[in-house]
């Protein structure tokens, strides 16, 4: 038995090295069927597709993805072959919500869009969308919640049509699905864009292909709003025309916090430990090379925004991405996009920083009380 793991997964040696199993890293998009042997443990992230083609020459005994989503795993195939699999639900939810709130704070500082005063919709209220809803509610907002699966058994949800017609800000956090009663692939297409309010803000930090890319290019100029994309149709290909429409553009790094990635590895280790009766291990503490961050007891929202953006500022990632992709052909753009993700300097989640003297508003933004 060997452990093959995505080279971008942190703490693999911390959790697995003392088991006496070979640890073999691989580049996420470059894993080939010939790299596998029967009975391997395969640990992936979202860019590695695990299906019959990958497992044609050898079948792993376990596939784990250190991500919330599982659309890159052919779950039907894995079940048919008796291959166990697991994901890491909620591992990077805090980091993604930090990203979305940083974008909203930046919109306010740069564009004067007071997001807390506007109707906001969250489409997909799972781990990420649910955490975002709680933090916005702690700020006194009442976001419109869209989740047709949960709406079948719980009150408090609205339809996608109602949300798009009423909300000025739309945040997408659904998984990518192609079948079932509520498929999400291309769920935001021509008719949905036509129903959006002029000047809308659209943020996608979920899955790129829940938006129809061609329809987005066709309809967004008429909306004259603010488009924020961290995930992209046909990723890692990023159409230049689509990039130019964006107010903020980032290379699928919304959840790339140190804590989120580490949590993903730890959750897969926990799944494997239960399966193979390995010793359980605790999640290690985040490294904190900072002194305590002391703040005044009462801060204005603009002060809160500037303090938080000093620790993560999406405009930096936007500038790096635009500079890296400028003037390249499609093949090189795809390669450079992956390079941006591979070499990304992971940030720390706001809640992991050693704050002191936080007022209620800062605690809500950071997520300490939800």
The set of catalytic residues is 207, 235, 252
Which helix (H) or strand (E) segment holds residue 64: the answer is strand 62-65
Three-state DSSP state, 46: coil
3-class state of residue 170 by DSSP: strand
- Read off the tokens for 212: 């129809």
Judge whether 129 and 122 are in contact, CB under 8 Å.
yes
CB atoms within 10 A of CB 8: 18
**What is the spatial distance between Cα 77 and Cα 53, in angstroms, rounded to a whole number?**
10
Number of helices followed by number of strands (H, E) in the chain: 14, 13
d(CA 19, CA 5): 15
Nearest C-alpha neighbor of 201 from the set 93, 118, 145: 118
d(CA 111, CA 109): 6
What the block records as the tokens of 177 is 């699905």
Under 8 Å between Cβ of 205 and 172: yes
DSSP state of 35: G
Per DSSP, 260 falls in state: H
Whole-number Å distance between alpha carbons of 120 and 341: 29
């Amino acid at each position: 038995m060997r452990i093959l793991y995505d080279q971008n997964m942190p703490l693999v040696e911390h959790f697995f090295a003392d088991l006496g199993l070979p640890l073999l890293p691989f580049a996420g998009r470059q894993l080939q069927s010939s790299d596998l042997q029967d009975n391997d443990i395969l640990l992936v992230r979202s860019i590695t597709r695990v299906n019959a083609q990958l497992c044609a020459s050898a079948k792993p005994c376990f596939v784990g993805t250190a991500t919330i989503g599982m659309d890159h795993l052919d779950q039907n195939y894995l079940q048919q072959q008796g291959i166990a699999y697991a994901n890491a639900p909620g591992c990077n939810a805090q980091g993604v919500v930090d990203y979305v709130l940083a974008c909203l704070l930046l919109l306010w500082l740069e564009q004067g869009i007071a997001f807390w005063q506007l109707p906001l919709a969250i489409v997909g209220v799972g781990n990420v969308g649910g955490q975002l809803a709680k933090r916005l509610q702690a700020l006194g907002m009442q976001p419109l919640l869209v989740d047709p699966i949960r709406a079948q058994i719980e009150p408090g949800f609205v339809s996608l049509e109602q949300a798009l017609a009423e909300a000025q800000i739309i945040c997408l956090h659904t998984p990518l699905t192609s079948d079932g009663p509520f498929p999400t692939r291309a769920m935001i297409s021509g008719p949905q864009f036509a129903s959006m309010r002029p000047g809308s803000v659209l943020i996608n930090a979920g899955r790129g292909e829940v938006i129809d890319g061609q329809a987005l290019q066709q309809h967004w100029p008429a909306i004259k709003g603010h488009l924020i994309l961290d995930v992209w149709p046909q990723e890692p290909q990023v159409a230049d025309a689509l990039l130019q429409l964006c107010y903020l553009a980032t290379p699928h790094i919304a959840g790339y916090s140190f804590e989120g990635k580490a949590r993903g590895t730890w959750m897969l280790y926990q799944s494997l430990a239960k399966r193979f009766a390995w010793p359980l291990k605790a999640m290690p503490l985040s490294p904190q090379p900072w002194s305590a961050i002391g703040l005044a007891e009462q801060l204005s929202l603009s002060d809160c925004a500037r303090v938080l953006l000093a620790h993560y500022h999406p405009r930096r990632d936007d500038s790096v991405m635009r500079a890296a992709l400028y003037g390249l052909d499609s093949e090189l753009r795809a390669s450079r996009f992956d390079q941006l993700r591979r070499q990304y300097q992971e940030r720390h989640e706001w809640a992991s920083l050693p704050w002191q003297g936080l007022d209620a508003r800062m605690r809500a933004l950071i997520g300490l009380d939800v």
